[in-house]
A and B are shown apart, each in its own frame.
Chain A
Amino acid sequence: MGGKVSCTLGEVKNRADLIVYWGGNPAECHPRHFTKYSLMPKGRFVPNGRKDRTMILVDIRETASAKAADIFLQVRPAKDFEMITVLRALIKEQPVDTKLVAETGLTLEELTDFAQRLKKAKFGVFFFGMGLSMTRGKHMNSAALLTLAAELNAFTKFVAMPMRGHGNVTGGDVIMRWTTGYPFGVNLARGYPRFNPGEYSTIDLLIRGDTDAVLVLGADPGATMPQPAIDHMVRVPTIVLDPKVTHTSKIARVHITTAVTGISAPGTAYRMDEIPLPLKPPLKSPYPTDEEVIRRIYQAVAKKPPLMPPVRPKVPRV
């Protein structure tokens, strides 16, 4: 188990005849996902667009996206992992525990039909949202679904993709990977990257009080994070770079107003499928860009006496 079997969104547009949204509500959170990438467009091998595709929505409640679905499967809250496990057994024609099936809130008939559709698809895709990845089980749910997608490739072509949320969060992952080797939560205190989710992740650092200064960029944790985390940001020097004075700015020691990404700040952003796109800002901001301010902070720190003794670098022995 492990890994990710995925594709760029154009593959879905051109080929997918079975589209499954799991724990996400694209109709309200990613409004053009249906029309631009997945459900509606006429693709190279699905020339009739919507008519050539089947859409199944799996969620704990009937959201606005259910209207667009051919089949809606209402899973009992926090039973996604169990449901995926049953499906993994069904596609391999393994016997399943009826008690376990009952727990999912769905009938064996519904699940068997679902499993059959997954196997019979010419090109199937799972798009999974925070309803799967941020509820009980968290990354284990995502891992289970990714494994189901990988295993389906024994029968047909199947891929899976997370419905990444806000703005350029994907770009952050991509850039941290090439500069540090890890996608998030990277500790550089020893001068080289270390990774340990749960230890070096933001919420944990804040709630435990491990960090003694916070620089917040392109986010407003003061509005969204658990109270103990916010309390710690109040205690330590917090610095915010944002186009607006945010909730976090109000608890911060320093706020710097910056230009708006893609509106008055140029650069690059990554799409959820990790395709980089150029930004074309139409406006000229009276404020500096984040890039410029961060670089200036860097230069201001670099002028101070070095934190580590200036050791002569070694090319490590191989």
Chain B
Amino acid sequence: MLRITGGKVYDPANGVNGVIRDVCIQDGRIVADVEAGRTINATGMVVFPGGVDVHTHVAGAALNFARAMIPEDHLHSEPFVRTAIRRGGISGATPTTYVTGYLYGGLGYTTVNEAAVPILSARHTHEELRDTPIVDKSTCVLMANNEILLDQLEAGETERARHFLAWCVGAAKAYGVKAVNPGGVTAWKWGKDANTLYELVPGYNKITPAGIIQSLARIVDDLGLPHPLHLHCNNLGVPGNYATTLETLKLVESNRAHIAHIQYHAYGGNDWTTMRSESTRIADYFNAHPNLTADAGAVLFGNTVTITADGPWQHLLYKLTGRKWGNIDVENETGCGVVPYVYKEKNLVNAIQWAVGLEMLLLISDPWRMSLTTDHPNGAAFWRYPEIIELLMNADFRREQIKKLPPKVLERIILPELTREYTLYEIAIITSAGPARSLGLRQKGHLGIGADADVAVFNDIKEARKMFAYPRYVIKGGEVVIEEGEVRKTVEGHSLLTQPFHDPKIADFIRPLFQQYYTMSFDNYPVEMERLEHPDVQPCTQANS
């Protein structure tokens, strides 16, 4: 039993805006009152629901490939020395699994969504997540370039496609569905890309990226998955891509969709020299369409490594940087590219990217539909979130930073005109309540009775960067894991997953195709439930259909 008393509570999901009240915890849940147990005096502090990261890359084949590619980065990373309580490891752009848990916990985050998992290597992802302490974990399985699925769409077998997709979510022990560069990664398998939404996907006679996007969004809604289609639009990172993004948003008008790292999809211009921000156009459309949620994918200057299932983009980035390039195409399912990258303040393109991330966060008016992310580690490592919070809450600080950019960038961005400053209430929304709602996790992101007892307590100080980098207390599932800036306890997290309904006969349909196209045995393909750390199946709204 635990009582947090005297703190100013920000619980947006329950409309609580900076009210001094007690938060009581028993058996890992928020309760109305407790009679005994420890009391934390949070006078002069603020109390938030534990942070929720809707889009991050913290585990699995791609990230682990990146770890191997940047030993020179590890050398300059913060070392974590082993103690009796915690494991050793390193931080940096691709922290080791244990350190990932300590760092997220150390920011007051208690739930993360690993946004890109191929079914074929889902077993690997879950093994890494089991070694990631403190946080609860959900995953999104990559489906938009799955060739068996595309074959069904090509043949007009939409119902079978739905059953197949539901089976795949179950096999991967995933929570949601991710679409990355629909059709484009399939094209990449032949060294090509999908540049427009209406060209045929190579190897197919009927389906286009547009068709894949619409079908997937519909299937995800039909299955009643708690999280909408998690969509990485086509033409990521390319000047002029805002047009593709707007077209994509129109395609999903009658469905729900979560637009991942929207910053990377809001550029104008024709090439790298004429690139400019088109955040206003994207934000205007987005604001008028409540079916959409998004996360920022904000960029911070510095050293990082980019990792995405978007293979063709990574080849382009390799050609641009001339640095290392890693690529793993995953049979029949997806691709993956890894390119180390430095965002430079004095680089025009990077400066625009930095500005667009903040613009999107400031222009999207409803914080409930916009989550704070950096698409870790693509825009910056997640442990730099407090820097972004400072930029959002403090317009003066923002102006100081803008002054450091190359002057000619000013005509390409609108950030200097934006005066909005986020309130603490809004920060609680974009870091916790909003992403929890977008993920459809009803027990997360709030402090109402019955919610998971995931709580972050911060000093109430003016400098947001310091305030959010060093929580005073972090409580996960009712246990105090961080206290006075130190890891005190390393609890295990839960694996959040869904098991959408599918016709059990679909396995008989998949088996022969699988034997034909894959190189592993069909019965070894699904991840065994026993491998998951504390599996926690979340309900779908459609029990069956």
A-side interface residues toward B, CB under 8 Å?
A: 1-11, 13-15, 36-37, 43-45, 122-123, 150, 153-154, 156-157, 159, 173-174, 177-183, 188, 190-193, 195, 268, 270, 274-278, 306, 308, 310-318
Contacts and interface: CB of A to CB of B under 8 A. Distances in A.
Interface stretch (B164-172, B438-446, B513-521): B513-521
B487 A274 contact: no
A181 B94 contact: yes
Contact of B519 (A8, A153, A190, A193): A8
Interface stretch (B285-293, B327-335, B408-416): B327-335
Interface in B156-204: 189-191, 203
A157 B202 CA distance: 14
Contacts of A314: 485-486
A288 B386 CA distance: 48
Nearest to B465: A318
A193 B89 contact: yes
A195 B75 CA distance: 8
B77 to A, nearest CB: 8
B537 to A, nearest CB: 21
B83 A179 contact: no
Contact of A315 (B97, B319, B487, B520): B487
Contacts, number: 193
B86 interface: yes
A10 B383 contact: no
Nearest to A7: B329
Interface residues of B, number: 77
B64 A13 contact: no
Nearest to B471: A315
Count chain B CB atoms within 10 A of each CB in A153, A157, A268, A318 and give the residue with the most: A318
B106 interface: yes
A9 B519 contact: yes
Contact of B71 (A4, A182, A308): A182
Nearest to A279: B524
B68 A183 contact: yes
Contacts of B487: 313, 315
A129 B332 CA distance: 26
Contacts of A122: 190
Interface stretch (B121-129, B228-236, B252-260, B451-459): B121-129
B384 interface: yes
18 contacts: A5-B326, A6-B328, A10-B518, A11-B189, A157-B189, A157-B190, A174-B124, A178-B67, A181-B94, A192-B90, A193-B74, A193-B88, A195-B75, A277-B520, A306-B84, A312-B486, A315-B102, A315-B482
Given A178-B59, A195-B71, A313 B83 contact: yes
A143 to B, nearest CB: 11
A11 B517 CA distance: 9
A4 B339 CA distance: 10
B519 A278 contact: no
Contacts of B128: 178
A276 B124 contact: yes
Contacts of B383: 318
Given A10-B331, A278-B528, A318-B386, A182 B74 contact: yes
Contacts of B519: 8-10, 13, 36-37
B120 interface: yes
B97 A178 contact: yes
A5 B128 CA distance: 23
Dominant SS among interface residues on chain B: mixed
Nearest to A278: B524
Contact of A181 (B74, B82, B323, B386): B74
Given A153-B315, A193-B89, A274 B61 contact: yes
Contacts of A14: 331-332, 517
B513 to A, nearest CB: 10
Contacts of B330: 7-8, 11
B96 A181 contact: yes
Contacts of A316: 78, 80, 91
A177 B517 CA distance: 30
A275 B61 CA distance: 9
A241 B90 CA distance: 29
B131 A179 contact: yes
Contact of B124 (A15, A154, A274, A311): A274
B190 A178 contact: no
Count chain B CB atoms within 10 A of each CB in A2, A8, A11 and give the residue with the most: A8
A195 B71 CA distance: 8
B516 to A, nearest CB: 8
Contacts of B323: 2
A122 B192 CA distance: 12
A279 to B, nearest CB: 10
Given A15-B189, A153-B315, A181-B96, A192 B80 contact: yes
A177 B386 contact: no
A172 B414 CA distance: 50
Contact of B147 (A13, A44, A179): A44
Interface string B34-65: 00000000000000000000000001010011
Interface string B463-495: 000000110000000000010011100000000
B325 A313 contact: no
Given A192-B82, A274-B328, 17 more contacts: A2-B323, A3-B325, A5-B325, A7-B330, A7-B331, A8-B120, A8-B330, A15-B189, A43-B517, A122-B190, A159-B327, A177-B64, A191-B82, A192-B88, A268-B127, A276-B127, A313-B83
Contacts of B103: 315
Interface string B331-344: 11000001100000
Contacts of B91: 316
Contacts of A1: 324
Nearest to A123: B190
B320 interface: no
Contacts of B147: 44
Contacts of A15: 189-190
Contacts of A45: 203
B310 to A, nearest CB: 15
Contacts of A2: 69, 323-325
Contacts of A277: 520, 524
A192 B331 contact: no
A183 B67 CA distance: 9
A53 to B, nearest CB: 16
Nearest to B516: A44
B88 A310 contact: no
B331 A8 contact: yes
Nearest to B337: A5
Nearest 6 Cβ contacts at the A-B interface? A10-B331, A3-B324, A2-B324, A192-B79, A7-B329, A315-B106
